[in-house]
Amino acid sequence: MGSEPIERRVSYIGDRLKGSRCPFCGREYFRPKKYCGNCGRKSLGKMEDIDFFYEKGVLETCTIVREPTNRFRRLGAYFYGVISFHNGKVRVPGRLTDMIIKDDELIDPSDFEGREVVPRFRRRYSVDKSDIIPMISLAFTFADEYYPYQQYEIIKPNKEYDAPGIVGYGVYISKFRIREGKMERSVPFIDEDAITAAVESGKLALIHSGVDHRLIGKIYVGSESNPYAVNPIASKVAQVLKLGEEEKTEGVQSVDAVDTEFACKAATSMFKDAMALVYYPKDSIEYAMVIGADNAQAAPRGEPGGELDFFVGFGGAAFIFGMKDVIAEIEGWYSCTSDTPDFWRRDLEPYPRHGGRFTGRPAYFKHILKAGRKLMEKMNLKPNDIDYFVCHQPNPTFPVRAAAALGFKPEQYMPGLQVSRFGNTYSGSSPIGLAAILDQAEPYKRIMIVSYGSGAGSDAYLFITTNQIKDKRKRQKFTVKYQVENKFINYVDYATYRRFKEGL
Amino acid sequence: MGESPAIIGIGRTKFGEHYELDPEDLIDEAGLMALDAAGIERRDLDACYISDYLLQVTNKIGLEEGFMSQLLEMNIPIEKMRSFSSALSNACNAIEAGKYDVVLVGGMEKMTDRWSKIRDNLMLLVDHWSYYAGGTPETSHELLLREYIKTYDIRGEDQHKLMTTLAYISVKNHRNALKNEYAHFRREIDINRVFAARKNRVLGLYDFAPISDGATALILASPKKAKEYTDNLIYVLASSLATDFISYPSRSYRTGFIANKIAMENALKMANISLDDIKLLEVYDQSTVLEMISLEDLGFIKKGAAWKKLYENFKDYKGFYEIDGRQLYVNTDGGLKADGNPLGATGGAQIFEIVKQLRGEAGQRQIDPDGDLIYGCMQEIEGFGTKVYVHILGREKSGK
């Protein structure tokens, strides 16, 4: 049994790796301290807040843990060591994550010592199913491998737009994949889940946009695989990424945070809400963040709902909306909804069920085609007027057929088609496709995104890129393409994939 | 220190797996042996200082003072500490202050009662943030070794020699325990076994002390009172303690424990003797690394040189380390590695060995270093270098 007050205190510091710096002598601490050991009384109350969440450290010494303590057992063998930050001003313990170490593998710690590492937000260890899930950022990966080090630099915006739009975005896909036939799908490491993917993608969106995290007034997280039935992912994201002004004495963020749920359109549905908030004439907010993240669930093959197991992926995409330094302005939107039960998951059930062929024409296609056609009609546009098209991608064939039915050609829909690389990332599916397009689109290109959520409904949006899209691109190392073509991708077998998906 | 208190009797149980005994049974056995050795009755006791680290966790026993009172059927002051050295240190303070004349110091631990969860619980001794990050009781020792290897740039053949030295330390301690009837492990091992257990990891099973059940006890008396019972007194000449940060990574000195150095320096000053006077040393070898590191930190060997010096010694091991022409007997009882490590009782076993050796009652284990054996020194650690106690015992009342 965990203790909730202890959990709050540990995660408040450990999720973000918070510390203090003495303004007089520069001494640094991991874990905030009210005064400096060198400078004593004069430093009392004057210590500066620092954190190591966006920093890179050095793995100074390490060893291999082959017999973890009980709560870490499901991790298998892992590396554990001392990580230093700021040239040794601060040292913390940490484990390396995203590594599969074989039982008979001979290891020389000196092969790893001295290498640069970046902190990752992960599950801390196993707990009972009914307990609070403990998280921590004392999990690290090598800075020159799959997940690169990227500096978060707050940039003062210099241009205000007439219409709201996307200011920045980030996509987080895990390093692990399963390959079956021509299809590759992303697999979480065992310490990942929808919460970690949401935080990591949000972090990447902040890095890409250069937006001051304190100016984000609302955060929406859409997911259908929140490991909690009650307890929002959005509050975790807000706390870890310090969204909104921080009320330091209480450790409270001045931000509105909420989780949304509508199968795979939980995130896209909120795009318009986010844009409405930043455009709102009275007491508007500067920025709003929308994240779609899922550890897409599927029953094992052979069981009811097991057909989904061939297609599910893992990952998240985060978008920041605002009026300043916009990279893609909104042109219009259209949504439609009907009560169509094609895919559902009852409370307390671990895996969703699926309506078989019923999920096709009367569900997916009906809503996507309706939303796509209506929006083009409303905006008086033809497929030829649109440069890129992306829609929800539950499998490799549906999105191609939908795009063709709407009149789009492969050069319009292929850039956004990522399902055969990552699988169906549920709430993250069409947003990741949108991000893949934004990664490569030139200025003044028109993009149409049509999501689909079972239950059922679709959201269609039209964006037009601005010339600032190119300026910001250099701040995005972790592009969709980078994650697809990365040489550090680790392919796992079916049993490992199932085990990793179940989590710690 | 004021006038040194004296140990007039000492007792212990066998260390190992005592599945049939409760912690009360263990401390009862050790306590009775100590009372018997001192030739006193329960009712002669003025107070009692006991120690255990984990009984609250392992056996769900709190308020140990209560069951001690019930065992003794007395209402004297009883206090519980976390380590035997802590209990002894506090008992010394009380006697020196003139508060009590005869005190029982005892320690007990029942670790095998919680076999499946003990390593998680032992992380309480290390650091909860290290635990959150995935650390185990063993990783701290391994990281210290890595830091040592990096700092002194020990590579290739030299590194193999270092690892061989560590293996020999384990072999040596196992061999010493053959003659110790109370030891947890009384079987000889060879370095191949130590190496085999390391397999694909940094250190292996034979580099670490076991978890044990056991109890130890001694009777401490003011020098005046002590002489009423016996002439064969062993004085506690120094009792020093130094502390360090709970988090090992946060410490600036990481190739050893700074608390080792400080505690030893202070102890030598208190006892008014020099390092050369110490020929018998009981170090807290929770791992083979800690025996080697402690010899450096305590000042017997220069920093960074112990692996080499000990390697030379083990080529032709004579039962003691020969360091710069001087003899140093280390862990003659088998150390924590082979004698066992029931946390709260462990320090008592170290004291037991020194008392027995100084009194010439160590039987087969009796050492006879060149010159007289007058002093013995023990180091006990709580946590991973977080607290270091050094006690110096002597047959003579004070140093030169």
Q: What is the pLDDT of residues B151-170, one digit of tens each?
A: 999 999 999 999 999 999 99
What's the pLDDT score for residue B260? 98
Report whether pLDDT(A187) > 70: yes
What's the pLDDT score for residue A104? 85
Rounded average pLDDT over A358-366: 95
A78/B134 Cβ within 8 A: yes
Q: How far is A93 from chain B (nearest CA, A)?
A: 5
B202/A138 Cβ within 8 A: no
Distance CA A66, CA B201 (A): 7
At A96, which amino acid appears? Answer: L
Report whether pLDDT(A224) > 60: yes
Q: Coil, helix or strand for B124?
A: helix
B133/A69 Cβ within 8 A: no
Rounded average pLDDT over B100-113: 97
Of B120, B134, B250, the CB nearest to A65: B134
pLDDT digits (tens, 9 = 90+) for B202-220: 999 999 999 999 999 999 9
Residues of chain A with CATH 3.40.47.10: 160-502
Report whether pLDDT(A1) > 60: no
Burial of B311 (0-12, 13-18, 19+ CB in 10 A): middle
Contact predicate A242/A16, CB 8 Å: yes
All structural domains of chain B with their residue ranges: 6-116+212-229
Q: How far is A107 from chain B (nearest CA, A)?
A: 6
Rounded average pLDDT over A104-132: 95
What's the pLDDT score for residue B371? 67
Is the alpha carbon torsion for B129, B133, B135, B139 positive or negative?
negative
pLDDT digits (tens, 9 = 90+) for A309-348: 999 999 999 999 999 999 999 999 999 999 999 999 999 9
What's the pLDDT score for residue A53? 97
Report whether pLDDT(B324) > 80: yes
What's the pLDDT score for residue A107? 87
Catalytic residues of A: 224, 264, 392
Contact residues for A63 (Cβ-Cβ < 8 A; gap 6+): A79, A80, A81, A109, B139, B142, B143, B146, B201, B202
Instruction: For residue B149, list chain A residues with Cβ-Cβ distance below 8 A.
Output: 110
What's the pLDDT score for residue B124? 81
Contact residues for B243 (Cβ-Cβ < 8 A; gap 6+): B259, B386, B387, B388
Residue of B nearest to A106 (CA): B200
| More confident of the two residues B88 and B61 | B88
Q: How far is A36 from chain B (nearest CA, A)?
A: 14
Report whether pLDDT(B400) > 50: no
Contact residues for A9 (Cβ-Cβ < 8 A; gap 6+): none
Rounded average pLDDT over B243-258: 97
Rounded average pLDDT over B320-340: 96
SS3 for B30-92 is HHHHHHHHHCCCHHHCCEEEEECCCHHHHCCCCCHHHHHHHHHCCCCCEEEECCHHHHHHHHH
Distance CA B378, CA B384 (A): 17
Of A14, A69, A91, the CB nearest to B119: A69
pTM: 0.95
Q: How far is A27 from chain B (nearest CA, A)?
A: 12
Residue of B nearest to A125 (CA): B132
| Residue B398 confidence class, pLDDT cut points 50, 70, 90 | low
Q: How far is A453 from chain B (nearest CA, A)?
A: 38
| More confident of the two residues B105 and B372 | B105
* Strand blocks (E) in A245-385: 245-247, 252-254, 256-260, 287-295, 314-324, 328-337, 343-344, 353-354
pLDDT digits (tens, 9 = 90+) for A156-176: 999 999 999 999 999 999 999
| Residue A202 confidence class, pLDDT cut points 50, 70, 90 | very high
A136/B201 Cβ within 8 A: no
Q: Does domain B6-116+212-229 have CATH number 3.40.47.10?
A: yes
Q: Give domain A160-502's CATH architecture.
A: 3-Layer(aba) Sandwich (3.40)
Which of B57, B200, B251, B252 would best serve as a mutation to test chain A binding (most A beta carbons within 10 A)? Answer: B200
**Average predicted confidence (pLDDT) for chain A:** 96
Question: Within the 184-243 window of chain B, which residues sit less than 8 Å (CB to CB) from chain A?
Answer: 200-202
Which of A8, A31, A60, A80 would best serve as a mutation to test chain B binding (most B beta carbons within 10 A)? Answer: A80
What's the pLDDT score for residue B399? 53
Q: How far is B141 from chain A (nearest CA, A)?
A: 10
B127/A80 Cβ within 8 A: no
What's the pLDDT score for residue B2? 64
B146/A138 Cβ within 8 A: no
Question: Within the 108-127 window of chain A, which residues sit less than 8 Å (CB to CB) from chain B?
Answer: 109-110, 113, 124-125
Report whether pLDDT(B45) > 50: yes
ω into A456 cis (within 30 of 0): yes
Is the alpha carbon torsion for A379, A384, A385, A391 positive or negative?
positive
Of A91, A106, A110, the CB nearest to B250: A91
Tokens of B281: 């040393």
Of A30, A69, A109, the CB nearest to B146: A109
| More confident of the two residues B1 and A153 | A153
pLDDT digits (tens, 9 = 90+) for A232-246: 999 999 999 999 999
Is the alpha carbon torsion for A428, A432, A438, A441 positive or negative?
negative
Interface confidence (ipTM) of the complex: 0.95
What's the pLDDT score for residue B247? 95
B201/A82 Cβ within 8 A: no
Size of interface A-B (CB pairs under 8 A): 104
Instruction: For residue B132, list chain A residues with Cβ-Cβ distance below 8 A.
Output: 10, 14, 124-125, 134, 136, 138
Distance from the Cα of residue B132 to its chain's centroid: 28
